[in-house]
Every structure is written in structure tokens, then in C-alpha cells.
Amino acid sequence: MSKKGHKRSRLSNKVLGVISALVLGGGGVAVVAGNASAGQDGRAVQTIDCPDVGEKLTAVPDQAKSKVDANLAKLDDQVADAYKKLAAGQAKGNALLGDLKQQRDQTIKGISDEIGRAGQSDAGIKALSACTMKDAPAADAADAKADAASKGEQGAVAQAAAQKGGPAKNDFVNITKIKPNVKNPAQAGNASKGSFTSQCGRNENGHFNPDNVIVAPGVSNGAHHMHDYVGNLTADAFSTNNSLAASGTTCSNGDQSTYYWPVLRLRDGKVEKDAKAPGGGQDGNVGTILKPKQVSLTFKGSPTDKVTAMPRFMRVITGDAKAFTNGNANANASWSCTGFENRQLKDKYPVCPKGSDVVRTFNFQSCFDGKNVDSANHRTHVAFADKNGKCPNGFKAMPQLVMRLTYGVAPGARFAVDSFPEQLHKPATDHGDFINVMSTGLMNKAVTCINNGQNCR
């Protein structure tokens, strides 16, 4: 290419990388867009983009649920294994996608057959087996070296690691460059203005696992990334309502609920204890696990209505662990910095100024259908209020869980949230999980405090 062509190419990349902020209604989270196919140095990688079968299943008969859940987890395994082969250069393009489609055909057929035997429609999921390749910016060179160092790799292997998943330079943005974007609905006359807080520590007891009992019950490493836990002491893939109710808790008020989220890691090249374990290094999640400086678990009221008690054993997920390939429709975690929390980001990590901590905030759904503790896709039994704070028709206001985590990160240090391998540690994939195991008495106390405008612990 001529010098003129190189100059034009660099200019194009610069134009594509210009940041634009779109302020969303309600929560006011900014989506910061950049070049979707190449990093700031022009390099790009490919990942695997498969239709999310679980999202399409809005109803699964009880008798089919265990086998459907197991097959959905198997689909995740298949995609993760295919991505690992792609990243290692062991398979490419059409051959890899063809093999993956054959595997998914059989697994999706198994899901469809189970649902059909129970006399219900499979929502057309058999058409969801084919996957495509998706371009993404390559990992930052410094991060790639850290990735390689954490595995004891050198030379050519380190260069190959540079082509693996994120974070990329354009996954980060200086928080001071983002305009304030948080908008809160006005309080109506019937608003429930109180709050209830559970103090459950910062996972000082080291409760980690790569399971997800909500999405993949009974499956070890169902998340393919490591989770931090507070609250319930025994939560893992094999937990049941009975085992959760019999468990101890880290919460000072006796709240036995389980609260969990993907760990955040420094991409510092250091070998963590899970460097060779499922959910850790085996799934591309490397570097030092950061312990939060603070974990705040607060249940808030509705700006328009009184809240009603949340049923025991309700499961709620906020955010989407597959948002990089699914799109941002369900991405809901917010990234910010202390001192700048009137500026919230959905698809970028914040670069915080000196003295300011990284903040992750999970605003959970505040409405439920009044009867179900879960749903097939773990979404349709709950809902977000509209921009005015009102629940959809047929839904009731319930205490809204807000989880807020802070981390001490040096300005400019690379960090990333754990993710499914093919999701490339993108910030939009962050998510929070919650199972309500409060006793009836404790939940009633929370509802009373919230509705009466008190702030209780």
C-alpha cells in the first residue's frame, strides 16, 4: 500500500474510533460506540457468534426442565470448546462452524424433543443451530503479554496470545470524557421511599466457583467464568431450595440469600490459583482476582407505588453474559468511578482518575408477575419499570435490589471481567445474580421499612 493509502487507512480508523455517547432513558446508562472490527492499531480477531437458544425459551414444562437445562449448558460447552480451538489455531472458518453446527443440531434436537414430549411447542429453536464468525478488536498488546506471561509462555506463543480475546484498547474510556447521563424518575405521592440493606461482607471467606445454579443447575463450570459469592455459604451448581434454606450466611442480619457476580481481574500476568482450572485459565480468565473494597446490597422502593414482598427462592438475573454476541438489549450492568457516578457506562470499562475507584452497579428488575419465582429464560417472570418508574400491566412493584461494588485499580491498569471464552471479556457482558432466601419475617421487615420510608439494616 502507498504512503497515501496508509495515511488514509489511519485516518479511517481514527474516525471509526471516535467516541459517541447515547443516553438511554430511565437508568441513564451511556453506550459508547467505537470501531467494532479492529483495535486502535488495526488488528482484529474473530470470535464465534451463535444464536442464544435459552433466550428463546419463554416456557418449559416442569417435567422437561432438568434435561433442557443440561442441554442448554451443553450448548455453552460446545461453543466454548470451538472458540478455544479457534484461538489456538487448531481449526478455522467453515470447517469449525460446520462441526459446531452438527453438534448443536443434535443438542437442540434433544431440547426440542423433551419439550415436545411434554406437549408444548419448542418455539422454533431447531433453526438456531448455525453460528457465524464475528470480528472484534484484538487484545491490547500489553494485555496479551500479560496473558502469555500468566501461562509461562514466550516468543511466538505470546504473539499468538495477542490475537486472543480482550480486553482491547477501545474497551476503555476516560470517565472524565463522558457527560453526566443519569436520570431518575420523579417521586409520586404513593412512592415507597425507604430502603433495606443486607451487610454480607466482601467474600472474605473466599467463596468462588464457576457454576451458575440459576442458568445451569446441576452442571459444574456451567458459567465458564469464576463467580464471587456473598451471603449464602453453600451456593453452587448443586444447590436446592432446601440446601440454601439450611445454609449459614455471611450476612449480619441472617439473610440467607445468595448474591453473586463474575470476578474482576487485573490483567497483570500473575498466576492466580485457578490458572489451570475450569472457569479460570482453562476458559481464558487469567490474572489476579480483585477483592472488592466495598460491597453494598440495598433493596429500594418504587417511585410510583408501594412494594409487595418478593417470594422466597425467587431467582433474578440482571445483565447478559452473552451481550457481545447477543447485542446490548439485555445488557444492564453499569460501570463508573467514585466521584463520577452521575456518568454510567454499559459497554466500556472506565479509566478513573487518581484517587477514584472503579464502580460496578447492578440495578435488578423491580417488578414481578406476582406468582412465579423463575421462568424458562430467567427473565419473563420479572420486568424493569418504565422511565417513569411504573411497572408493566400485570406486574407488581417489589423491593429492587441494587448491588454496588467498588475496586481499587491504578489509573491506566488493565482489568477485565470474567466471561464465557467467546465473549472476549467485554464490559457489556457483566451481570449479577440473586436468589432470595430471606425468611418470611425478614422479607416482611424489608417491605415495611421500604414502604414506611425508613432506612433499615
Give the number of other CB atoms < 10 A from CB of residue 182.
16
Q: Which grid cell is 269? A: 500476568
Within 8 A by CB and 6+ apart from 376, the residues are: 54, 57, 58, 59, 60, 65, 68
Look at residue 120 in the predicted model and tell me its pLDDT.
87
d(CA 52, CA 420): 13
Look at residue 17 in the predicted model and tell me its pLDDT.
35
Q: Are 199 and 218 in contact, with CB atoms under 8 Å apart?
A: no
Q: Can you give the three-state secondary structure of 391-433, one letter per residue? A: CCCCCEECCEEEEEEEECCCCCCCEEECCCHHHCCCHHHCEEE
Show the DSSP H helices in 57-207 as ranges: 62-87, 93-117, 141-150, 155-161
Global pTM value = 0.89
List b or e across 325-345, with b for residues whose CB sees 16 or more CB atoms inside 10 angstroms.
bbeeebbbbbbbbbebeebbb
One DSSP character per residue, 203-259 reads STT--EES--TTTSTT-TTSSSS-EEEEEBSS-STT--HHHHHT--BS-TT----EE
pLDDT tens per residue across all 457 residues of the chain: 444 444 433 333 333 333 333 333 345 677 665 444 444 455 788 999 999 999 999 889 999 999 999 999 999 999 999 999 999 889 888 999 999 999 999 999 999 999 999 988 888 999 999 999 999 888 876 655 555 555 554 333 333 433 466 789 999 999 999 999 999 999 999 999 999 999 999 999 999 999 999 999 999 999 999 999 999 999 999 999 999 999 999 999 999 999 999 999 999 989 999 999 999 999 999 999 999 999 999 999 999 999 999 999 999 999 999 999 999 999 999 999 999 999 999 999 999 999 999 999 999 999 999 999 999 999 999 999 999 999 999 999 999 999 999 999 998 899 999 999 999 999 999 999 999 999 999 999 999 999 999 999 9
Residues facing 174 on adjacent strands: 351
Residues facing 230 on adjacent strands: 259
d(CA 326, CA 67): 24
The type of residue at 1 is M
Look at residue 146 in the predicted model and tell me its pLDDT.
55
Residues facing 397 on adjacent strands: 367
Look at residue 155 in the predicted model and tell me its pLDDT.
36
Strand locations in 113-191 (E): 132-137, 172-174
Give the number of other CB atoms < 10 A from CB of residue 441.
9
Look at residue 30 in the predicted model and tell me its pLDDT.
74
Element (H, E) at 9: helix 3-16
d(CA 317, CA 433): 5
Look at residue 27 in the predicted model and tell me its pLDDT.
54
Look at residue 145 in the predicted model and tell me its pLDDT.
58
The type of residue at 409 is V
d(CA 456, CA 298): 10
Within 8 A by CB and 6+ apart from 124, the residues are: 56
Q: Note if the bond before 167 is cis, omega within 30 degrees.
A: yes
Strands 264-266 and 132-137: unpaired
Element (H, E) at 195: strand 195-198
Look at residue 163 in the predicted model and tell me its pLDDT.
41
DSSP 187: P
